[in-house]
Amino acid sequence: MKNHVKLKTINLKNHSEYNEKWLHNVIAEDPSILHIGDVILKDKERIQHGAGRLDLLLQDAEGHGRYEVEIQLGATDESHIIRTIEYWDIERKRYPQYDHTAVIVAEDITSRFLNVVGLFNGFIPIMALQLSAIETTEGIGLHFTKVIDTIHLGDDDGDPPEETNREYWENIRGTKKTVGLADKILNIAKEFIPTAEFSYNKYYMGFWVDGKACNFAVCRPQKNALRLEVRLPQSEEFDEIISEAGLDVLDYDKRWGNYRLKISAKEIESKAETLKTLLIKAYDIRK
């Protein structure tokens, strides 16, 4: 029978050698230790004009997600929360084509912090990771516990995160032309779901069927094109369908389970049957 070994945890905030800069470098070298997905380092000590520096900017290795990571030794405090959200807001406005998540890393996630974050989680996608530093004969080991996970905005089974209207998409996020492309996708869907219609919210144009959210696909009109995201499991079958049709696939988003396609008017006309096939398969899985 093996002996139990009691782990010795240390406080990095008061440590003379293992400081915050050391921690930044360790995470930057191997972001996988955070266990928030397959992410790579995009930047560190990223300058935010008029607002300081973002500790780490991470990005999905195969997707369009970005994570604004702020690290604090010791316990969380109000300034840490504000700074994290501020950097998240700056980055999402600067690069709206990505899905952004604020990530707070601290040695002590306090109950007060949890209460404050609980007020806006669901409106601001945020994660909180509690860090434990463990001393061993070989060095310091780091363990991250996910105390708060992101509540996905616009979950199919709930209400849209923030309802908007058609004018919002025509004038702010996209254009009348790209919203018109989304209408063509809706018309394809209506061929097999006559009651389908669009719901408009801040993050995407989703589908409603018989008065209920049914986001087997979503449309995100942009200024120059339409991004169509079809919720399908990644498989050789769907990869082949998309490849043979020559559709412009941006990537497969593992986090949300979507094929992300860049759609033009020409593609809708020439590849309508392939798009219909993908939409039907996604709807059959979702319903």
pLDDT at 126 over 80: yes
Which residues contact residue 16 at a Cβ distance below 8 angstroms, ignoring those fewer than 6 apart?
Answer: none
State how far the Cα of 4 lies from the Cα of 6, in Å rounded to an integer. Answer: 6
Q: Reply yes or no on whether the pLDDT at 22 is more than 50.
A: yes
Tens digit of each residue's pLDDT (9 = 90 or more) over 221-268: 988 889 999 999 888 899 999 999 999 988 888 777 889 999 999 999
Cα-Cα-Cα-Cα torsion 68, 152, 117, 44, nearest 10 degrees, comes to -10
The predicted pLDDT at position 155 comes to 42
Residues 94, 23 contacting (CB under 8 angstroms): no
pLDDT at 160: 43
Give the domain ranges of the chain.
Answer: 8-148, 166-286
The CATH label, of 3.90.1150.20, 3.40.50.1820, 3.40.140.80, 2.60.40.10, for the domain at 166-286 is 3.90.1150.20
**The domains spanning 8-148 and 166-286 adopt the same CATH topology:** no
Q: Which of 121, 143, 119 is closest to 133 using CA atoms?
A: 143
CATH class for domain 8-148?
A: alpha beta
Dist. CA 149–CA 213, nearest whole Å: 23
pTM higher than 0.85? no
